[in-house]
Amino acid sequence: MTSHPQNRAGLGILFVLAGVFAISINDMLIKQLSGSYPLHEIVFLRSGIGMLFSLMMVQMEGGLGILKTRRPFLHATRGLLIVIANMSYFVALAAIPLADATALFFAAPLFITVLSIPMLGEKVGPMRMTAVLVGFAGVVIMQRPWAEAESLEASRLVLLLPVLSALTYALNQLMTRKLGVESKASALAVYIQATFVVVSVLFYLVAGDGRYAEGLDNPSWQFLLRAWVWPASGDWWVIIGLGANSAIVGYCLSQAYRMADAATVAPFEYVGLPLAVFWGWAIFADLPVWEVWAGIAMILGSGLFVFLRERQKSRVIARAPVRRR
């Protein structure tokens, strides 16, 4: 078995594009359900169904034996990171427009590019680092620090939740790159689904009766703390779709970061920005304010520059003569 991560950039990019499209569907469906069900119930149902689909993929990639691991602690840590990323993002999603939440979350590829230096030993030159800083400036603009709190869609704390989600997501994907050396993508997806199930069950035991939601008006806190209810018959198809989509997201993103350098794959996650704008307009009749448009432009511009710089660097390396040792 190889001891170094494989680097198949083309396939990694295809997998990340498929995963990002599935994420955009996932976010749109969860925002639709956020007014009727608690977040931990949606997570439990989605992940339980997603686990079944992921186990089918495990069978296709080698059987249950591939679930064995010598790094259970790292897999558990990775799972908790993605749980924090999802929970913080979806809590924000209940209170702010889809495009705004997604745009703020897209600090994640910027975090990945920066953190890949100390965590994976990848090299990021000064020009790419400048582009990353421009992207972070776009995130600051979307926070609108000059605006009065009353003019914002939600509190400052809620607006920061997608950024927390971005940071924990970035750490998760960098750990995926390390763990992907010895674990299949389907196994990585199963570990994630299992963590979601365990955390949501614990959440149910503490707050599943809705006792902490009484008297709360904030839509984010209501989404997090309201009581579990049996899903309406018409919502079961949406929930089953969420489960299948969850398995696709887990598999595609795990595969993408197994197969290619994090700094190469991460910029392609920006495709999620125009998708979020589209779903926000088509389903919820929301369009971003000018600050969000400006931030989106800055993040997309920095991401495109990082990608073009990486491709140029790869071509130079490919043309360089091989030196004898």
Examine residue 105 and state whether it is found in any structural domain, yes or no: yes
Query: Is there a domain that residue 3 lies in?
Result: no
Alpha-carbon Rg for the chain in angstroms: 20
Is 134 within the bounds of a domain?
Answer: yes
Structure confidence at residue 181 (pLDDT): 53
Residue 1 belongs to a domain: no
pLDDT in tens, 274-285: 888 898 898 888
Q: What is the pTM of this model?
A: 0.77
* Inside any domain, residue 4: no
DSSP string for 57-109: HHHHTT-GGGG--S-HHHHHHHHHHHHHHHHHHHHHHTTS-HHHHHHHHTTHH
- 170 occurs within a structural domain: yes
What is the model's pLDDT at position 61?
Answer: 82
Q: Is residue 2 part of a domain?
A: no
The residue range of the domain holding 25 is 9-319
pLDDT at 167 over 60: yes
pLDDT band at 3 (very low <50, low <70, confident <90, very high): very low
- How many folded domains does the chain comprise? 1
Q: Is residue 220 part of a domain?
A: yes
